[in-house]
Amino acid sequence: MSEVAAVRTYLLSLQDSIVETFEALEADAGGPRFLRDAWQRPAGGTLEGDGCSQLVEQGAVLERGGCNFSHVRGHALPPSATQHRPELAGAPFEALGVSLVMHPLNPYVPTVHMNVRMLSARLPGAEPVSWFGGGMDLTPYYGFEDDARHFHRTCADALAEFPGELHARFKPWCDEYFFLRHRGEPRGVGGIFFDDFAEGGFERGFALMRATGDAFLRAYQPIVMRRRGTPYGERERDFQAYRRGRYVEFNLVWDRGTHFGLHGGGRTESILMSMPPVAKWRYDWKPEPGTPEARLTSDFLRPRDWLRE
């Protein structure tokens, strides 16, 4: 089996296991099944390839959630994909990955994002160059320290088998990346993030991809189970929608993956699956000091050493 075929097989299995888990949670709560939307881009265009978007809307657990697989080939890497490898700009490439965003209905359950991906490019007459990226991050609306500690501990455990203290590198990278520079505030409590990873060659990069993808359910599912039955009212839903506005701003303004997809000829519906179904903006609004809503930014949405505090 070729390297690309091995990665594809793993990613499809990962997508299925995640969707099956959330379908079971929806079924237990009387919610709907995920929609499965397989797609294909024929040869001859800017991009060719195939993929499958699986998503649920208006669920009992997830107000909107999706898990996408894509495998595309293009004639020329766009600049957004070659920030650290400018010599490959314009090279033919393959890109495949799984990306998910889950926006729960209950405001006490945090939103989560996870992505694992591989890019491979080949200049004429040269061997293919492959690199990996990915990670996961948590975006709470109401902060619970045990949830954040569990999420970060699971991320750290997933990287513990690799030399080089990867968690010590990837945790600050996540804090730095998922930051709304125009607001001067983090998107959430972070997790891990890595990009352009080619250390140790294909085998190590693929192992890192698998470790990250396989840790996702262990990191997030226990938090969903713990918080999904917490009573809430209109106040909590209103604040959830307000904070979701920040999520939209980050994805459209700063997220490299969104830019790569939209400007590289990607499938718009699949790319914008990450958007929450309901979001609000208010002019210069701030929560009342001392409230749970105010404590989100004062106590949680700042870089913290969740493993040692």
Q: pLDDT of the chain along its 309 residues, tens only?
A: 688 899 999 999 999 999 999 999 999 999 999 999 999 987 777 778 999 999 999 999 999 999 999 998 887 776 666 666 767 777 788 899 999 999 999 999 999 999 999 998 877 767 778 889 999 999 999 999 999 999 999 999 999 999 889 999 999 999 999 999 999 999 999 999 999 898 888 999 999 999 999 999 999 999 999 999 999 999 999 999 999 999 999 999 988 778 777 776 667 887 788 899 999 999 999 999 999 999 999 888 988 899 987
Q: Set out the domains of the chain in order of their start, with CATH numbers.
A: 3-300 (3.40.1500.10)
Measured CA to CA, the distance from residue 10 to residue 179 in angstroms comes to 30
- Cβ(135)–Cβ(115) below 8 Å: yes
- Answer yes or no: 103 catalytic: no
71, 75, 84, 113: the catalytic one is 113
**DSSP E strand boundaries for 149-201:** 179-180, 185-186, 190-197
Predicted pLDDT at 6: 94
Predicted pLDDT at 82: 61
Residue 268 half-sphere exposure toward CB, CA atoms < 13 A: 1
Q: How many Å is the Cα radius of gyration of the chain?
A: 19
Instruction: Go through the chain and tell me how many residues it has.
Output: 309
- Cβ(258)–Cβ(275) below 8 Å: no
CB neighbours of residue 145 within 10 Å? 13
- Beta strands 190-197 and 62-74, pairing class: unpaired
Measured CA to CA, the distance from residue 135 to residue 212 in angstroms comes to 6
Specify the 3-state DSSP secondary structure of 165: coil
What global pTM score does this model have? Answer: 0.92
**pLDDT tens digits, residue range 1-32?**
688 899 999 999 999 999 999 999 999 999 99
Q: State the DSSP string of 123-142.
A: -TTS--EEEEEEEEEEE-SS
**pLDDT tens digits, residue range 178-189?**
999 999 999 999
Specify the 3-state DSSP secondary structure of 195: strand
**pLDDT tens digits, residue range 69-95?**
999 888 777 666 666 676 777 778 889
Measured CA to CA, the distance from residue 86 to residue 81 in angstroms comes to 9
Predicted pLDDT at 1: 61
Predicted pLDDT at 266: 67
Q: Which two tokens stand for residue 94?
A: 């393959």
